[in-house]
Amino acid sequence: MESLGVVAHRGGLVVERPELTVGIVRAVSRPDGLELELLARRPLDRRDAVQRQADIRAGVTGPPPAPRRLLPEYDEGLDLRVGWLDADGRAHWEYGSWSSSSGDHFEGVEGPSFRTLIRFPPMFDRVSVALAWPEIGFPETVLELPLPDRATVERETVSIWEAPLRVRHPRVALNHRDGTHPVETPAVEAGRIAAAPQVLSRGGEAVVVLTSLTAAGRYLYLGVCSIAEGEQGETAAAEAFPPGPEPARPGASIAVVTGQEAVWVPTFSGSAGGGDRSFRSEGEFVVARPDTDVLTLLVTWPSAGLAEVLVDVPLTTA
Report, in this order, helix, strand and coil percent for the chain, each rounded to 5: 10, 45, 40
pTM confidence score: 0.87
In this structure, the strands spanning 294-301 and 306-314 are antiparallel
Residue 108, pLDDT score: 44
Rounded distance, CA 199 to CA 76, Å? 38
Distance CA 237, CA 229 (A): 10
Q: What angle do CA 282, 283, 284 make, to 5 degrees?
A: 135
For residue range 170-199, list pLDDT tens digits in order.
888 899 999 988 877 778 899 999 999 999
The Cα–Cα gap between 34 and 6 comes to 10
Which parts of the chain register pLDDT below 70? 1, 45-62, 102-110, 244-249, 317-318
- pLDDT for residue 106: 45
**pLDDT for res 105:** 44
Encode pLDDT of 151-178 as tens digits.
Answer: 999 999 999 999 999 999 988 889 999 9
